[in-house]
């Protein structure tokens, strides 16, 4: 099978990113766009644009029937779902199979396996991966004995929660019964499911993930990324490879990720996320993301691969074009997510129209974006404006390029978090490398108290 | 064909070794300006000039009517759904009567009357509210922003339907203030 025409069922920078590879490979592109995005940069760059519904994503980018209709109508051989929206939706993968259209992603079964938290964890255990010690509990006695076994402090998590919602830390054994009761009541109200589980609470953790590529039988890893700089579980800065990671941990994580991918006979690009316990120097499986990730460019920078091209190759039935021993990494890369949010005012979203977009360029600098002067930043979708990616022969050189690149960046018309990125890039703690997921909250508090002091004096 | 990132890098390598500080390229498809930055490195500014090309409605591009898999026509789902309501209602022009205040949205977005689909609304006409009572949520860029009543009183009107798009400062509900 050769893919000749791809429907891109996404928007923003990732739509432009996928378009670029399609063009390079001589594949025709059809952009599936909502009414709000009919004049977007992606729409201007695509060979064709088809409207899939109104601005609200529930009736456009999240509507399987609308996307399938557009694919059929445009006679596309394949759908690239990007990230977010329907990218990990088993119903879209199934509809594609039934319509004999290639879904550029894993199989329905693989999507279902990694999409359910408990199922994903079951596969991890079966593949021999370490998971955060814990288990489901429903009575105070069960909770107390489990907590005693796994060690304090503990975290109570709602089975139906996610993205940081439905979690409760418990540090004092005497407070466990009350916290459990409250957590179950809240889970029932918030998610319609009172089930909770108890986990060891990792006081200082890093978010490290391993990039996989599979063709349905063979699986290779493309090294790791560190995404510990997060605000409210949203990644802000990512880098490859993860800095200052004990070599024993790194190779064990690579092997664990490959074991997980092999167990699923994984096809496509995917990422296995791990929590690294800094104090214990251990790692635990968190989840697998069965799609291209926002932060994939840092992996591309250090491996020299085009992950979207590899996704397309395996989707059309080709075997992996790279063997594990051929994967080599060169240097270090960091990505900053520039968002339309006002970091000076509690990250308030800032939709509007971009009036001016001056972006960095030069050796070791890549910018993935869909914005230029005149671009609309609609209020309906996420706030990502651009990704600034710096690559250098080592981490220090990479950071030097990043700092200069951020200076050469100016976006007007909407508020952005550019100043925050410059501050992070200039900080000693980040320069040292290996910060934990609590870094950004501490950094913001320190910045705020500095502002307060200046205003006070 | 637009320039790729690799093309731009190639041009910059040539420029770096040249005495020039600025390059402007313009075709009918794009405009690109590269400038040497005082801080080192370069800046780029680009505009895409080509217009979007809507897919012809009758049949797929490059697929003849005879061989096209869908020559018979498009499935109904391919048609953009017609919006159920106007994209947004104009903010109420009439000014509220004495003792009645509008609670307006501080931010543009989609208004929700309930914490989640199917749940009872935060407030109904007749609800008594305090200044810190949440009267609804406005979703902007995937973030949920609670809107507070801002005054003590009784809800006398719900101005916007659930799920409707609202402009900044548009009234969401009206209150009769308790202290008037």
Which of these, A290, A283, A277, A233, lies nearest to A253 by C-alpha position? A283
**Cβ pair A227, A295 in contact under 8 A:** yes
Give residue-wise pLDDT tens across range B25-82.
Answer: 999 999 999 999 987 889 999 999 999 999 986 554 554 333 333 333 333 333 343 3
Specify the pLDDT at position A345. Answer: 87
Query: Which strands sit side by side in the sheet containing B165-166, from one edge to the other?
Result: B143-148, B134-140, B109-112, B165-166
- Strand partners for A365: A390
DSSP per-residue codes, A390-410: EEESSHHHHHHHHHHHHHT-E
Alpha helices in A213-344 (DSSP H): 247-264, 296-303, 307-315
Write out the two tokens for A126.
């079966």
Tell if the CB–CB gap between B41 and A357 is shorter than 8 Å. no
Specify the pLDDT at position B169. Answer: 93
- The count of residues in chain B is 180
**Cα A375 to Cα A370: distance, rounded to the nearest angstrom:** 8
Q: pLDDT band for position B119 (50/70/90)?
A: confident
The angle formed by the CA atoms of residues A112, A117 and A119, to the nearest 5 degrees, is 60
Specify the pLDDT at position A446. Answer: 94
Specify the pLDDT at position A163. Answer: 62
Residue with tokens 């099978």: A1
* Helix/strand/coil for A44: helix
B109 CB neighbours in chain A (<8 A) are: 379
Asked whether the predicted pLDDT for residue B88 surpasses 90, the reply is no
Specify the pLDDT at position A117. Answer: 80
Among candidates B77, B80, B87 on the partner chain, residue whose Cβ is nearest the Cβ of A68: B77
Specify the pLDDT at position B97. Answer: 81
Give the residue ranges of chain A where pLDDT is below 70: 162-164, 457
Specify the pLDDT at position A1. Answer: 85
A:314-373 residues touching chain B, CB 8 A cutoff: 340-341, 348-349, 351, 357-363, 365-367, 372-373
Asked whether the predicted pLDDT for residue B21 surpasses 70, the reply is yes
Catalytic residue among A231, A267, A291, A395: A291
Specify the pLDDT at position B66. Answer: 35
| Average pLDDT of the segment spanning B2-12 | 84
Specify the pLDDT at position A185. Answer: 86
Q: Can A321 be counted among the known catalytic residues?
A: no
Which of these, A11, A10, A20, A12, lies nearest to A312 by C-alpha position? A20
Task: Give the gap in angstroms from C-alpha B67 to the nearest C-alpha of chain A.
Answer: 11
Tell if the CB–CB gap between B43 and A360 is shorter than 8 Å. yes
Alpha carbon A159 to chain centroid, angstroms: 21
Q: What is the DSSP letter of A294?
A: T
Considering only residues B93 and A118, tell me which one the structure prediction assigns the higher pLDDT: A118
Percent of chain A predicted with pLDDT > 90: 88
**Cα A49 to Cα A51: distance, rounded to the nearest angstrom:** 7
**Cα A359 to Cα B46: distance, rounded to the nearest angstrom:** 9
**Cβ pair B116, B163 in contact under 8 A:** no
Specify the pLDDT at position A189. Answer: 79
Give residue-wise pLDDT tens across range A326-335.
Answer: 999 999 999 9
Among candidates A49, A379, A408 on the partner chain, residue whose Cβ is nearest the Cβ of B54: A49
- pTM value is 0.89
Tell if the CB–CB gap between A351 and B78 is shorter than 8 Å. no
Specify the pLDDT at position A148. Answer: 93
Specify the pLDDT at position B94. Answer: 62
Write out the two tokens for A166.
């439905």
């Amino acid at each position: 099978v050769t893919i000749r025409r791809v429907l891109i069922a996404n928007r923003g920078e990732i739509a432009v990113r996928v378009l670029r590879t399609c063009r390079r490979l001589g594949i025709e592109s059809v952009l599936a766009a909502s009414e709000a995005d009919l004049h977007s940069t992606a729409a201007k760059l695509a060979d064709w644009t088809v409207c899939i519904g109104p601005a609200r994503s529930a009736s456009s980018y999240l509507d399987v029937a609308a996307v399938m209709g557009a694919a059929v109508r445009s006679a596309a051989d394949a759908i690239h779902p990007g990230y977010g929206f329907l990218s990990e939706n088993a119903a879209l993968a199934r509809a594609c199979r039934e319509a004999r259209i290639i879904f550029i992603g894993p199989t329905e079964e693989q999507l279902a396996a990694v999409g359910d938290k408990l199922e994903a964890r079951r596969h991890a255990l079966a593949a021999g991966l370490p998971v955060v010690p814990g288990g489901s509990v429903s009575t105070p006695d069960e909770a107390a004995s489990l907590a005693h076994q796994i060690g304090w402090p503990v975290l109570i998590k709602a089975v139906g929660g996610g993205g940081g919602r439905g979690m409760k830390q418990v540090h004092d054994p005497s407070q466990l019964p009350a916290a459990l009761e409250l957590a179950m009541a809240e889970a029932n109200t918030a998610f319609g499911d009172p089930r909770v589980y108890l986990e060891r609470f990792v006081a200082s953790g890093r978010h490290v993930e391993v990039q996989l590529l599979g063709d349905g039988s063979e699986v290779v890893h493309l090294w790791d990324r560190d995404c510990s700089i997060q605000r409210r579980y949203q990644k802000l800065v990512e880098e490859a490879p993860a800095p200052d990671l004990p070599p024993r941990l790194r190779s064990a994580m690579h092997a664990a990720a490959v074991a997980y991918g092999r167990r699923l006979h994984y096809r496509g690009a995917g990422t296995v996320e791990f929590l690294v316990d800094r104090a214990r120097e251990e790692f635990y499986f968190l989840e697998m993301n069965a799609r291209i990730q926002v932060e994939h460019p840092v992996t591309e920078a250090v491996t020299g691969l085009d992950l979207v091209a590899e996704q397309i190759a395996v989707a059309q039935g080709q075997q992996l074009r790279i063997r594990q021993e051929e994967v080599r990494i060169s240097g270090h890369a960091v990505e900053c997510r520039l968002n339309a949010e006002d970091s000076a005012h509690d990250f308030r979203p800032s939709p509007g129209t971009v009036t001016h977009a001056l972006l960095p360029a030069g050796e070791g600098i890549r910018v993935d974006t869909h914005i230029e002067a005149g671009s609309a930043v609609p209020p309906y979708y996420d706030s990502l404006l651009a990704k600034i990616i710096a690559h250098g022969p080592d981490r220090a050189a990479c950071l030097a390029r990043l700092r200069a690149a951020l200076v050469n960046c100016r976006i007007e018309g909407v508020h952005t978090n550019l100043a925050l990125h410059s501050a992070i890039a200039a900080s000693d703690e980040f320069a040292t490398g290996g910060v934990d997921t609590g870094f950004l909250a501490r950094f913001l508090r320190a910045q705020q108290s500095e502002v307060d002091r200046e205003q006070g004096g | 064909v637009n320039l790729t990132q690799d093309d731009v890098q190639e041009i910059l390598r040539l420029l770096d070794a040249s005495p020039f500080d600025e390059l402007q390229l313009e075709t009918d498809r794009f405009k690109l300006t590269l400038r040497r930055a005082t801080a080192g490195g370069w800046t780029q500014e680009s505009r895409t000039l080509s217009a979007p090309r809507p897919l012809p409605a009758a049949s797929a591009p490059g697929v003849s009517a005879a061989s096209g898999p869908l020559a018979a026509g498009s499935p109904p789902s391919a048609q953009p759904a017609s919006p159920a309501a106007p994209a947004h209602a104009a903010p109420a022009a009439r000014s509220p009567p004495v003792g009645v205040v509008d609670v307006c949205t501080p931010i543009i977005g989609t208004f929700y009357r309930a914490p989640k689909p199917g749940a009872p609304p935060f407030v109904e006409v007749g609800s008594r509210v305090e200044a810190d009572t949440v009267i609804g949520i406005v979703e902007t860029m995937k973030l949920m922003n609670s809107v507070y009543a801002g005054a003590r009183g009784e809800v006398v009107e719900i101005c916007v339907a659930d799920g409707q798009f609202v402009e900044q400062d548009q009234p969401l509900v009206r209150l009769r203030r308790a202290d008037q």
